[in-house]
Chains A and B, each alone.
Chain A
Amino acid sequence: MANWTWFHRLGSPKWFYEKSGRWLRWLVPLTVLVLITGLVWGLAIAPPDAKQGHSVRIFYIHVPSAMLSLAAFYLMASAGAVGLIWRMKLAFVAMKCSAPIGAALTALALITGSIWGKPTWGTYWEWDAKLTSMLILFFLYLGVMALQEAYSDKQAGAKASAVLALVGTVNIPIIYKAADWWNTLHQPATFKFTEESSIDPSLAWPFWIMIVGFYGFFAVVLFLRMRNEILYSERRTQWVRALVKGE
């Protein structure tokens, strides 16, 4: 039974609020450092691509945000599942707070993708398989957020959007496969969007750094949003009142 105490403490909003405050103290500077390193390396130091020139640099933003937007959806759905199964309040808070971040990252991936498309394809929007699945992922995020908002009972809204997120999780791999197949059915784009194998090792380092940086950024924003949400939903409790008066 002792094994479970940490789990239940993890579910306590107050405990999370105190802990996350301490985590943020080192997480924020670390993330800023990593992001700056990655950006400077990727945008200024790394050599331009032989075929695409400088436009390839946008990948240092595009690829990490695309990866994170997908990871955030899985994280959101897992949090929702934990909330549904163990009725843990904090899990629903995490789910609720990660949705807008994930949606914003998806939007960032779409925008950077279409900016990259202009010099490469000559248009801002090409119905490329990856971009199309990204767009549908964005719609899934919007659905989860809208459903949550629509319920007057917060708890019911959280549960309903958790179910939707789980259904979406089952669907995402199918959507990616479907988009791939669909793309080969109609004339495939002459230039594939990302070919992981074609990355030169000298370009790979700033990539990894940026990906780590984006994970850090996601965690920071998630924690900040969760802390905010906790303060609001627990505003009637003693400890929040004491906290507000004390500061």
Chain B
Amino acid sequence: MSGGFTTILRRDLLLAMRRRGELANPLVFFLIVLTLVPLAVSPSPEQLAKIAPGIIWIMALLATLLSIDGLFQSDYRDGSLEQMIISPQPLWLIVLAKVLAHWLVTGLPLTLLSPLLGIMLSLPEAGYWPMVISLLVGTAALSLIGAIGAALTVALRRGGLLLSLVVTPLYMPVLVFGAGSVQRAVDGFSPDGPLLVVGALMALSLLLAPFACSGALKISMHG
């Protein structure tokens, strides 16, 4: 049974490596848009420090949202998705492998890049660990939830815009608790509570998203 999981995980990572240029796109987006913030708001460290936790989290969310659009897109177009659906492997496991591959090439690098952005936005020191941990777990939840939207819109011609409409409201709790944990740490409180909630949200999406996705993908075949 795990054969399908490792096969698809290896395949998707290999595909990502073949398109290294595209791999960097969400990261570059993350970085560029963050550069806009001081330009638009103010370069004063006090002001930036105030909005840094929120801005970093919003950017991570948008970067995930932009990249999740392609999760099933090319597989749908070249018939791979059809092969996955009719294969004797459980589809939810295949979906899980694809989401994991997506997280490994977007969420994880975003998390690793985030301390740099913290420096650029003069995030107070207390915020770094909560930021890294909340992003590490939170981006996984974002990938999982986003995958549902990607599966629902894969067959639609202008799916990208619709995907953000469908998925953004679902992202709200992860954003609130993710950014909130950093904010609390910056304000001098313990970030443990909201961090645990982010973990719980991740666990819940891990439990439900693969099944919702496989249902949605089968429906998409009719679209």
Contacts and interface: CB of A to CB of B under 8 A. Distances in A.
Direct contact of A and B (CB under 8 A): yes
Interface of A: 84, 136, 139-140, 142-143, 146-147, 150-153, 155-157, 159-160, 163-164, 166-168, 170-171, 174-175, 177-179, 181-182, 185
Interface string B160-190: 0010011011101100110010011000000
Interface string B140-159: 00000000100011011011
B201 A143 contact: no
Interface of B: 148, 152-153, 155-156, 158-159, 162, 165-166, 168-170, 172-173, 176-177, 180, 183-184, 194, 201, 204, 208, 212, 215-216, 219-220, 222-223
Majority secondary structure of chain B interface residues (helix, strand, loop or mixed): helix
Contacts, number: 85
Contact of A139 (B168, B204, B219): B168
Which of A159, A166, A170 neighbours the largest number of chain B CB atoms within 10 Å of its CB? A159
B152 to A, nearest CB: 5
Nearest to B156: A150
A164 B173 CA distance: 16
A181 B172 contact: no
B92 to A, nearest CB: 14
Nearest to A186: B183
Majority secondary structure of chain A interface residues (helix, strand, loop or mixed): helix
B177 A160 contact: no
Contact of A160 (B158, B176, B208, B216): B216
Q: Which 10 A-B pairs have the closest CB atoms?
A: A156-B222, A178-B173, A143-B166, A139-B169, A178-B176, A159-B219, A156-B223, A174-B173, A182-B176, A140-B169
Contacts of B173: 171, 174-175, 177-178
Nearest to A140: B169
